[in-house]
Structure 1
Amino acid sequence: MSATASSPSDTVRASVGHLLTRAFSLPCSTAALAFTQLVQPTSRFQLALDALLPLLDSSTELAQRILVSFILYSLYTPHPVTINPFKSALFVAYVKEREKAVSIANEGGVSPNEQFVWVLWKILKGDGGDIGPYSPSTLSRCPLPPKLRAINLVLDEHLYNDIDDFTTYSYFQKPSLPTNPPTPVARIAPSPISFEEDRKNERLIYAMKLLLAARDRVLTLSEQRTLLPVLADLATTNIITSLDLTPIIAHNPIIAHPLLVSLLVNPDPENNNPRPFLDILPFLPPTLPTFDLYGRLLRDQTRVTVQGYSTVADLVLMEVLGRFIHECINWLDRAEKEERSDDRHAKGVQTLCRFYHNLIKLSIVDPTSDADSTEMAHFSLRNSRFEEANVLYRVIATSRF
């Protein structure tokens, strides 16, 4: 006996279900396009009603709910969202999620659904296309600046609160009250966010994405120009951890310097900052990007609020530089013992000695001080076969005698 074949609708539903569980890493616009390619135009509304709408108010993960809301929005673009048949359902979801987030915010916490509220707010404002390039996974994890917290995201309910379609609205009712008429949504005051502030916040969200991308690749000049002016704002969002600094420094030292300065001048005692960022600096590899960063930091006169220190340069000099030199020497000694075919050791010795020689020229370190230069004197003598090390050793030696 042959197995019963699945009907075409079952196959499509299964494909859509697979899409909704696997497309979190794709841009929202790509996932929405995949949905329209899987489902015939005449079946999209009913399938969205049956398969997508229930997920808006479910306990599924945030990324899936974000994806569902974008697909519901995109099905009727480029028409205005005010004539989207799912706008009422999206608005009810927005109101419910916002109320939860505001309640938690009033108690001093941060709701895990803040990003979902922001996505719904963007969609209902008609700006859903702005989130199309981002993946649901990215949107669900990206920290929001204070102005984009749910408590500040307000819509005019007159544009959305015409919930006449009981079929869509019923998905948002409690199971115990399936036949009750929809409860009127409370009136909400107009949004306090101006158009200019909204644009600024959008640029900040885009900058967050660039900063995360800076861990994996070299940013273009255009991307750097976009990111640099808002690094100080991003430093207060906790989006970057100390573990992110090493790859950012390796790929984008020009970005790393102002980012690190912003982190150092905005201490967060609750998270023990800036200590974690200082602790990572001594263990950076002795490469040109690292020395470039140190050169900038040791000349930076930006004021800091860390007790006992006045400037970034002062803080890095006293807290980090000595340990960094020590770790560089250890790194190069290990590279020499490994006897690899590459020239890591030779280049590292030359670069470190040039770097230290420049510090002497700039009077940042004192060659006559045993505490400052004894370790480098021994290192340069051991490696005096390299011209840079030989020159450095003679500078240190002659300064003492």
Structure 2
Amino acid sequence: MQTLAAFKPPLAMKQTSVDPARASVKHLLTRAYSLPCSTATHAFNQLVQSTSRFQVALDVLLPILDTPAELTQRILVSYLLYSLYAPHPISINPFQSALHASFVKERDLAMRVASEGGVSENEQLVWVLWKILKGDGSDIGPFSPATLTRSPLPPKLRAANLTLEEGPISERNKFDPFGDDDPSLVSPITTERDQEMQKLSEAMTLLLAARERVLTLSEQRILLPVIPRLTSPSVITSVDLPPLIANNPPLAQPLVVALMSSARTAGQGLELCLDVLRRLPPTLPSIDLLGRLLRDPTTVEDVVTGGKTTIADLVRTEVLGWFIHNCISWLDKAEQDEREGNISDDRFAKGVQNLCRFYNSLIKFSVVDPTSDADSAEMAHFTLRNARFEEANALYRVLVMGKF
């Protein structure tokens, strides 16, 4: 009597499941050598979800970098590894050390060939890696790997003349979330350290993804504990803050506090952060963030005196007035667009309600003085013009009553 085991297919007939994203990326690498590198990057981002890009790059792209693959593929892989974290500094790219190791290896190989009177076929790869590690990787974007491979290099750009600063990462911009600036403090590689680095890399990917979508609660739990490590130096720029605040309000306050309190954000970086806060629109996420910052006791550098102050005081003196003024300008523009039929949503009405409720709370907690013309004149004029809204009418009465 035959059993079910007799009907098992041979091992060769078993179909193995293939990740479609990885298969698509492999197909892309064989076809995209004639496309501009920036176009290939766009295609890669379309094929792979943002939360999976690091792992796919680790599994598919990185092995090609050091294998005897076609030169066009290796150039394309180098650019893709760079572009995953562009336009941010190369120093925070987790693949930076691998790119640097490839640069050193390929440069030494090219120099050996040159010493024998020949020209190595990998000269263009060395130049591409050099451009990326110098922070000029964006210059490569318009060119295809095939074009870069065929283009002869002038003598001054040959491998022997291409050098980098000492070490793969310049000390000034070193991204060292584990605080290993002192070589004597570097701990040996352990399983725990590998796991910690993996968590940090995952959190970095989530932080970048937070600019484009709402993170799930589990993703937020992964990201929140390591935000301070991702802000010194910062993984994101001031341009990234508005969409991140709009998409993920729970992350906004800890992220902004970490940016403002970071020693590396002092000076111009802190001023850029304050400028972003001044220009936020009158939406609930923005107002919630400002309200939390106005109660935050964290110590930071005073941008005016250079001394110490708190985030609450800094936001009150350097941000709040500008924020109110810009919100009023934003609402005036929204009202005009609504009147002209350019928008069909209720952003103007909601914005008026949000701003008036926010200002009422500022009065309630004595953050602003309704009897002071300097504090309330602009807001009184705004609420009078929009007195048809209940919140604006009520706030106008409070402001007028405070003067008599």
TM-score by length of 2: 0.59
- 2:115 alignment partner in structure 1: none
Q: 1:305 aligns with which of 295, 301, 304?
A: 301
Counterpart selection for 1:17 from 30, 42, 53:
30
Q: TM-score, normalised by structure 1?
A: 0.60
Aligned partners of 1:282 and 1:324 also within 8 Å: yes
Partner of 2:176: 146
Please name the residue that 1:351 is paired with. Answer: 354
* Aligned counterpart, 2:121: none
- What is the correspondence of 1:104-183 to structure 2 with a 5 Å cutoff? 145-146=175-176
CA distance in 2, matches of 1:345, 1:55: 52
C-alpha contact 2:260 2:270 (8 A) present in aligned 1: yes
The match for 2:239 among 236, 239, 243 is: 243
Question: Partner amino acid for 1:328?
Answer: C
Residue in 2 that maps onto 1:397: 400
Q: How much does 1:224 deviate?
A: 0.6
Aligned-residue offset at 1:64: 5.8
Q: Specify whether residues 149 and 388 from structure 1 end up closer, same or farther in structure 2 by C-alpha distance, changes over 3 A only.
A: closer
- Classify the secondary structure of the residue corresponding to 2:299: coil
Equivalent position of 2:332 in the other structure: 333
Q: 1:55 to 1:336 in 2, by over 3 A?
A: closer
Residues 309-348 of structure 1 show CA distances to partners (whole Å, capped at 9, x for unaligned) of 5111111110011011001111111111221432221111
Q: 1:305 to 1:65 in 2, by over 3 A?
A: closer
Deviation of the 1:198 alpha carbon: 2.4
Residue 112 of structure 1, CA deviation? 5.1
SS at match of 1:273: helix
1:64–1:258 distance in 2 versus 1, CA, 3 Å = closer
Query: How far apart are 1:196 and its partner, in Å?
Result: 2.2
Shift of 1:366: 1.1
CA pair 211-356 structure 1, distance change in 2 beyond 3 A = same
Residue identity over aligned pairs, in percent, reads 49
Task: Give the direction of change, closer, same or farther, for the CA distance of 1:32–1:270 in structure 2 (3 Å limit).
Answer: closer
* Pair 1:308–1:391, CA change in 2 (3 A): farther
The alignment yields a C-alpha RMSD, in angstroms, of: 4.2
Q: CA deviation at 1:357?
A: 0.1
Q: In the alignment, does 2:259 pair up with 1:263? A: yes
2:200 touches 2:226 (CA, 8 Å); kept in 1?
Answer: yes
Q: Given the alignment of the two structures, is residue 371 of structure 1 paired with residue 374 of structure 2, yes or no?
A: yes
Aligned letter for 2:395? L
Residue 19 of structure 1: CA displacement? 5.7
Tell me which residue corresponds to 1:172: none
Partner Cα distance (1:344, 1:283) in 2: 16
1:51 aligns with 2:69: yes
Please say if residues 350 and 386 of structure 1, whose CA atoms lie closer than 8 Å, have aligned partners that are also in contact: yes
Structure 1 pair 98–251 and aligned structure 2 pair: CA distance change class (3 A): farther
The equivalent of 1:82 in structure 2 is none
**Rounded Cα–Cα distance in structure 2 between residues aligned with 1:96 and 1:265:** 40
Question: Runs of 5+ in structure 2 lacking a partner?
Answer: 1-25, 84-98, 109-129, 136-172
> Partner residue of 2:112?
none
